Structure 1
Amino acid sequence: MATVVPAKATRREWIGLVALALPCLLYTMDLTVLNLAVPHLVADLKPSAVQLLWIVDIYGFLIAGSLITMGTLGDRIGRRKVLLAGAVLFGIASVIAAFSTSAEMLIAARALLGIAGATLAPSTLSLIRNMFHDPAERTFAISVWATSYSVGAGMGPLLGGVLLEYFWWGSVFLLAVPVMVLLLIVGPILLPEYRDPQAGRLDIASAALSLLAVLAMVYGLKHIASDGVAWISVASILAGLAIGAVFVVRQRRLADPLLDLSLFRSRTFSAALGVNIIACFVAFGPFVFIAQYLQLVLGLSPLEAGLWTLPSSLGFVVSSMTTACVVSRIPAPKVIAGGLMLAAVSFLLLTQVGGSHGLAVIVAATVVMSLGLGQVFTLTTDLIVGAAPPERAGAAGALSETGAEFGGVLGIAVLGSVGMAIYRGMMVGAVPDVVPEEAARAARDTLGGAVAVAPQLPDGIEGTLLAAAREAFVSGFELIVAISALLTIVAALVMMLIFRKAGPGGRAGKPEEAALERAA
């Protein structure tokens, strides 16, 4: 039987890829830029503590909860149509957020931004699946797609800082408007439309169930990460799992399910999705501790801490952009396993952070981590989208992003809880008896609390408290990176075991292999 050679992308597709990278860049910019504006908007809008939490969190909550629905909607009515509609909503919501006159108005605007943001990742990924049929070209295109997220995360604080220096806090939201206008102009020209010709109707009940399940679980995990284990957090997670179970049962019974569960029959799809979740788990969990270590242990300013994280961002860009070249010579499963092992080395390096060269260890380890995980994120995303049939690419992209969201939130909640349990356990008997009870309670709770109350104490007591708090924090940090190293090693071994029979081409997940797996 003659081999069908995939069509190569033309100049239109490559220019269209640049257009697809723009909304992805904004997606992460909006996640990071608000942190800088919080002090300014608090002074202006005077939100309550609860309102401020919702202003910060609702964007991520609704992105996570809406991804599956938006990805499947693109498969149903057209990926370009959903992307451009999302761009319109994102632009409008950005203007509303910029000129909000109350906390309630800003919360509503951030909610709209979350719903609009949920259209971006699955639509752009599924369009890449349809624009780039050659596996090597698709890998490179997804490398560019992944890099745009990293660039957006790095640009957000820098551009936001410049705007806040000269304008009001709402100006940070207006960054999105010209980019979305540009996308609306070039999108219809450069981007093809594609939808499943056999698509059925959208099941509203399934969409509501998926939203409620994801929101409940993410809400519970976030509260565990910030406040520790409490009955409301556990109840929220259990409710989310129960709603998720109802969602799965409903999908099995529907003729046109919102989520095609047959995707999980593909070994490539399931393994890549699992590894992607684990990679996000081990990347996001320690990152929270790294940020605190730089500022609260080493005493760096926020700007200095941010500058020292730039090498790792550059490492991620280099790693993502060289993935296509590497995978053309080495089978993809081996590259993923190698990236995981490289990440494990970085976590083992971080277990030495308590020494006299803590900053050098942090910078070296995070660069090594980004070099390893950059290829892991790129290739697992490529395999997830490539293993799905073209008509299910939107749903596959949505599952990839939802898995990444869950992996990140779960990593912060679980590893964060472990690290804080070590800190609090060591601080029980480490606070000097002469420290006032309220200050002692704050110091035992978090390192930030100890740093805040220490200047109020006599010189000798201040140094003793800070030394004990920093030692306890470093002990918790070293334990969670050791756990992360173990998880990445196990994931690498499992990846090699699952794909031990990968052929010399190494491109597990190319359409013909996925078709064979589905047929089996």
Structure 2
Amino acid sequence: MTSPPSSNTSADAPERAPFVLTALILGALVCNINLAAANIALPDIGDAFGASQTSLNLVAVGCALGLAMSVMYLGAVADRYGRKQLLVLGLGLTVVASVLAAFSVSVEMLIAARVLTGISAGMAYPTTLSLITALWSPGRRRTVAIALWSAVSATATVIGSVLAGVLLLWFWWGSAFLLAVPIALAGFVLVIIVVPSHVAESDEPVDHVGGVLSVFMIAALVLGLATVFAPETAVFGGVLLGAAVVLIGVFGWRQMTARSPLYDLSVARRRMFWAPATGGLIVFGSLIGAMFVGQQFQQNILGYSTLEASLSIVPAGIGLLAVAPQSAKLVLTRGSRFTMLLGYVFVLAGFVTMLFWGEDTPFWYLSLAYLAIGIGAGFAMTPASRAITESTPVRRVGMASATADLQRDLGGSIMQGVLGAILAAGFARSFGAIIAESGEASSISAEVTAALQSSYASALQVADQNPQYKDQILQAAQQSLEAGSIAAYAVGAIAIALGAAVVWIFLPGHAKEVDLVASYGTAPEPAAARAGQ
């Protein structure tokens, strides 16, 4: 049973539809700018706090972690108690969290503030797609709205990096975390004025036990992946991954037995739900991971300024926006499978290009890789988000939007965590080999060795403390970071290939897709219904 539609809605779209869509896109823009803001500032943050590579990984992944671990629970809360209300609350708290991040006095405080920023986004981000699905009827107008939402959401990661790069030319690293504040305030006001309230919301109780389990489950998974590859945190990461496996099992059991599950597994088992969700998770996560590793490579290996490093990824945003209209058309004419696979081809080409980056790589070659990844993400994300929402009853659209968000948030945090961990492990391993081959390993203390292998920023501090060896340390640090980066790109390329295989094998062709989505519309509502086609 659902609440009656608002009087502000028409047959196909809400009244003042352009303003409503603008307000919702602003909400998504805020969340995604915050996701990207840290990447460009990481070298400066490392210098300011003398942070290890693992700490820098946690700063980068903190916002995505907070969003990913809360989005499923908060999406259900929004479905029951008010999507607009939670969107407004999330935008307001984003301002507070951003200020705390900008003026952090330690790397630990910064990590905590980044997680809080992500939780604030978890209140706002899922409701933006939920409201689009609830306010626009199925068809071309909803598909176009989702395409715009997807393109702008993804492009915000590029916009955030570029604007942060500009700010860091004149201001301290904390200015990067204030980027979202004016946009959040504008979105806060516009949402209050134009977005309808209580449209097709559920009156079923929220599974709070399942919600709490989902929070700890995703947190353990993301943090485990972010720490398990680093030597100093490998045991801690392994324990977290073990806990994540147990929590996933308990969460699944809870959802199968709860009277009103947080995550309806009968819907999640649908081919047009889980297959595009998995494909979208990998492709968007790869975009975030590539930017995370690439920014450090460009600033530390190529010596780019923050502005130069951010400008190199502008082609990714251009590619995303340029193909968004074409993606919407292809989804309607050729289907989700064809459109997603086309996107995967471009993303894989971008990662293969990155494997050939080196200390003499020209600017245009860097931009070419980002352009390919942006085009690929633009093609893949619209069909992924649309297929998920089309496969889900409107009363459970929070589950669909949370899943679509998890493509970005969980995918981004997993790929960023994994690629960041591979980068850190590759850096430490390469530097260790250089020390061993130098013949001076016995004369270097264990403390100095650990500092040299910790991160590029830590190695620079050791170089400053030992000016007589500065050139050798810098050369070794650059060589090690390059080795770690190449390893990360190789892992990313393998993940892309696996994702393409999932889409190819499990997503149906266009005609079968149309039949499946139509059958979902007539399927029984109870979770016990046989919907796993």
Same fold per superposition (TM over 0.5): yes
The amino acid of 1:290's aligned partner reads: G
- Find the counterpart in structure 2 of residue 208 from structure 1: 212
2:151 aligned partner: 147
Most deviating of 108-117 and 133-142: 108-117
Amino acid at match of 2:531: R
SS at match of 1:230: helix
Deviation at 1:131, TM superposition (A): 2.1
Counterparts of 2:59 and 2:458, CA distance in 1: 23
Residues 162 and 307 of structure 2 are in contact (CA less than 8 Å); yes or no, is this contact kept in structure 1? no
1:477 equivalent among 466, 476, 485: 485
Cα distance in 2 for partners of 1:140, 1:131 equals 13
Report whether the alignment pairs 1:495 with 2:503.
yes
The 3 A distance-change label for structure 1 pair 384 and 443 is: same
Tell me, yes or no, if structure 1 residue 433 matches structure 2 residue 433.
Answer: no
Deviation of 1:141 after TM superposition, in Å, equals: 1.2
Q: Is the 8 Å Cα contact of residues 155 and 320 (structure 2) preserved in structure 1?
A: no
Query: Are positions 1:300 and 2:308 aligned together?
Result: no
Deviations 1:80-123 (A, max 9, x none): 23223333444565677789999999888766544332121211
Summarize the Cα distance change of 1:499–1:173 in structure 2 as closer, same or farther, 3 Å threshold.
closer
Q: Give the drift of 1:127.
A: 0.8
- Cα 1:271–1:99 change in 2 (3 A) is closer
The 1-side partners of 2:131 and 2:428 are apart by 48
Equivalence for 2:400: 396
For residues 29 and 508 of structure 2, what CA distance do their matches in structure 1 show?
Answer: 36
1:404 aligns to what SS in structure 2? helix
Kindly provide the amino acid, as one letter, of the partner of residue 120 in structure 1: A
- Give the Cα separation in 2 of the matches to 1:442 and 1:285: 25
User: How many Å apart are 1:515 and its aligned residue?
Assistant: 4.7
- The answer to whether 1:70 aligns with 2:74 is yes
- Which of these residues, 375, 393, 413, is aligned with residue 371 of structure 1? 375
Number of aligned residues:
512
User: Which of these residues, 86, 91, 94, is aligned with residue 87 of structure 1?
Assistant: 91
Structure 2 vs 1, CA of residues 54 and 315 (structure 1 numbering), >3 Å: closer, same or farther? closer
Q: 2:394 aligned with 1:387, yes or no?
A: no
Amino acid aligned to 2:302: L
In structure 1, the residue matched to 2:494 is 486
User: Where do 1:34-53 residues align within 5 Å?
Assistant: none
- The 2-side partners of 1:158 and 1:224 are apart by 31
Q: Tell me the secondary structure at the aligned position of residue 428 of structure 1.
A: helix
Q: Given the superposition, is the C-alpha separation of residues 143 and 235 from structure 1 closer, same or farther in structure 2, using an over 3 Å criterion?
A: same
> 1:169 and 1:355 mapped to 2: Cα distance?
25
Paired amino acid for 2:234: A
- Shift of residue 508, structure 1, vs aligned partner: 8.2
1:196-215 CA distance string (max 9 Å, x none): 56532223322222222222
Relative to structure 1, is the Cα distance of residues 490 and 167 closer, same or farther in structure 2, using a 3 angstrom cutoff? closer
* Percent of aligned pairs with the same amino acid: 28
Residue type matched to 1:351 in 2? L
**Residues 469, 200 of structure 1: CA spacing in aligned structure 2 closer, same or farther, 3 A cutoff?**
same
Whether the 8 Å contact between 2:97 and 2:113 is mirrored in structure 1 is yes
| 1:16 positional shift | 0.8
3-state SS, counterpart of residue 298 of structure 1? coil
Name the CA shift for 1:228/1:170 in 2 (closer, same or farther; >3 Å). closer
1:263 aligned residue: 267
**Contact 2:151/2:324 (<8 A) preserved:** yes
Tell me: CA distance 1:183–1:348, structure 2 relative to 1, closer, same or farther (3 Å).
closer
Q: Does 1:518 align with 2:531?
A: yes
Task: Tell me which moved more, 77-86 or 187-196.
Answer: 187-196
Q: Do the aligned partners of 1:7 and 1:134 also contact (CA within 8 Å) in 2?
A: no
Q: Distance in 2 between matches of 1:205 and 1:427?
A: 46
Cα offset, 1:396, TM superposition: 1.3
**C-alpha distance in 1, partners of 2:427/2:391?**
43
1:413 equivalent among 417, 429, 432: 417
Within 1, Cα distance between the matches of 2:404 and 2:520? 19
Question: Residue 400 of structure 1: CA displacement?
Answer: 2.4
Q: SS at the partner of 2:312?
A: helix
- 3-state DSSP of counterpart to 2:304: coil
Question: Structure 1 stretch 81-90 or stretch 165-174: which is displaced more?
Answer: 165-174
Query: Superposition pairs for residues 336-355 of structure 1, below 5 Å?
Result: 336-354=340-358
Residues 188, 426 of structure 1: alpha-carbon distance in 2 compared, 3 angstrom cutoff: closer
For the pair 1:221 / 2:225, whether they are aligned, the reply is: yes
| Contact 1:268–1:514 (8 Å) recurs in 2 | no
Does the 8 Å CA contact 1:386/1:509 hold for their aligned counterparts?
Answer: no
Following superposition, the deviation at residue 336 of structure 1 comes to 0.4
Cα deviation code 1:124-175 (max 9, x no counterpart)? 1111112222433223212221233344334445656777889999877766
Alpha-carbon distance, 1:367 to partner: 1.0
Structure 2 Cα separation of the partners of residues 437 and 81 of structure 1: 58
Cα distance change of structure 1 residues 111 and 487 upon mapping to structure 2, 3 Å threshold: closer
How far apart are 1:18 and its partner, in Å? Answer: 0.5
Equivalent residues in 2 for 1:275-314, closer than 5 Å:
275-314=279-318
Q: Distance in 2 between matches of 1:313 and 1:151?
A: 5
The answer to which of 424-433 and 309-318 deviates more is 424-433
For residue 195 of structure 1, report the CA deviation from its aligned partner: 5.3
Does the 8 Å CA contact 1:423/1:475 hold for their aligned counterparts? yes
Say which SS state the counterpart of residue 193 (structure 1) adopts.
coil
CA deviation after TM superposition for structure 1 residue 337, in Å: 0.5
Structure 2 distance, partners of 1:290, 1:332, is 30
1:26 maps onto 2:30 in alignment: yes
Give 1:123's aligned residue: 127
Deviations 1:449-471 (A, max 9, x none): 45554566688x76565555544
Question: Which amino acid is the alignment partner of residue 507 of structure 2?
Answer: F
Change (3 A) 1:255 1:483: same
Q: Does 1:242 align with 2:249?
A: no
Aligned to 1:3: none
- Aligned AA for 1:492? A
* Shift in CA distance, 518/135, structure 1 to aligned 2, threshold 3 Å: farther
Cα distance in structure 2, aligned partners of 1:410 and 1:236: 14
Q: C-alpha root-mean-square deviation of aligned residues, in Å?
A: 4.2
CA gap of 1:373–1:61, structure 2 versus 1, over 3 A, is closer
Q: Structure 2 vs 1, CA of residues 396 and 450 (structure 1 numbering), >3 Å: closer, same or farther?
A: same
Runs (5+) with no aligned partner, structure 1: 1-5
- Within the candidate set 310, 332, 335, 1:331 is matched to 335
What is the one-letter code of the residue matched to 1:341?
Answer: V
CA contact (8 A) 1:415 1:480 kept: yes
1:248 positional shift: 1.9
CA distance in 2, matches of 1:85, 1:320: 30
Shift in Å, 1:31: 3.5
Structure 1 match to 2:4 = none
State how far apart, in whole Å, the 1-side matches of 2:317 and 2:178 are: 24
Give the Cα–Cα distance (whole angstroms) in 2 for the partners of residues 489 and 62 of structure 1: 28
Cα offset for 1:408?
2.3
CA 1:160/1:241 → structure 2, altered by over 3 Å: closer, same or farther?
same
